[in-house]
Amino acid sequence: MGAVRSSRRLMRWSVGISAMVLAFLLAPVSPAHAADGSGIPVPADSLPAKGNGGLSAADRDFVIKVRLAGLWEIPAGNMAQEKSDDPRVVNIGKSISAQHVVLDQLDRDVAKKLAIELPNKPNGDQQYWLSEMKSANATTFDQIFIDRLRAAHGKIFPAIATIRSSTRNDLVRQLAQQANQFVMTHMTLLESSGIVDYGALPTAPAPVIPGQGPVPVDGNMLAAAHSNTGVPGVNTTVILLVLAAALVAGVITTMRIFRAR
């Protein structure tokens, strides 16, 4: 009787320890979720943003362009809600318009702290795109709306990456981080319409030397990618999952041995 109780205690202990270890192993690969559930893609304020660091002409131009984006995409999104007969396009317009209101406020806050003068109306190209949408009927509006916004986001996307990786100013760095989240979200929303004319979008320039194109990869990057495992091509997540599976299998085997006894 005592042996049976001991075996049961051992099994419970084994299962409990295994569950804790399994949870520990899987924790690093669990996806993060937004804390507020608002759906607005603003990342956590984990970057220092006190206005420290030099401000370049490119930084100023970036802050101005974020403002310009909101000045035409907010009314464009509002028009989509009024003129489109496609519920997908209506929802896309609603989301983009609402999110640009948030981004515009973030941008204006940064501009105020850095004494950057912002425009109050869209530029010439943006005004033309808005006039196209205003003149379009229910049949032609959706394609114009989706294509104009998708093309614009495709142009600003790499520009944001350049500022994020090169700016010396921490306020601009944080704004670029936030803008990147918005632009990626908006590109995905626009593409979810299913009507993006990808053939009309500009292509990336061909690399002068093969392997050294828009996304250069050097030895240091490769070394950093493999530093966690020390084995090229082996993903840390895969190793953790294999270890977890082996642990579970070991527990099951132990339980079967004690039951047999």
Residues composing the chain: 261
The CATH number of 57-203, from 3.90.950.10, 3.40.50.300, 1.20.1260.10, 3.10.20.30, is 1.20.1260.10
Q: Is the pLDDT of residue 87 over 60?
A: yes
Contact in structure between 156 and 65 (CB atoms under 8 Å): yes
pLDDT at position 48 = 61
Q: Where are the domains of the chain?
A: 2-30+220-260, 57-203
Closest CA to 79 of 157, 179, 146, 150: 146
Q: Cα–Cα distances in Å, from 261 out to 3, 4, 252, 254, 256?
A: 9, 9, 15, 11, 9
**Tokens linked to 3:** 């042996």
The mean of the pLDDT values for the chain is 78
Closest CA to 175 of 47, 18, 4: 47
User: Alpha-carbon distance 226 to 118, whole Å?
Assistant: 44
pLDDT at position 210 = 66
Q: Is the pLDDT of residue 14 over 80?
A: no
Task: Provide mean pLDDT across the span 73-91.
Answer: 97
pTM: 0.65
Closest CA to 191 of 79, 97, 81, 92: 92
Torsion angles phi and psi, residue 209, rounded to 5:
-120, 125
Highest mean pLDDT among 5-14, 167-176, 220-229: 167-176
| Exposure b/e, 78-114, CB count within 10 A at least 16 = b | ebbeebbebeebbbbbebbbebbebbbebbbebbeeb
pLDDT at position 4 = 52
pLDDT at position 164 = 94
pLDDT at position 103 = 96
pLDDT at position 257 = 53
Contact in structure between 155 and 203 (CB atoms under 8 Å): no
- Please tell me whether residue 205 adopts helix, strand or coil conformation: coil
| Higher pLDDT, residue 64 or 26 | 64
Give the tens place of pLDDT for each residue, 195-252: 999 999 988 888 777 666 555 555 554 555 455 444 444 455 555 565 566 565 665 6
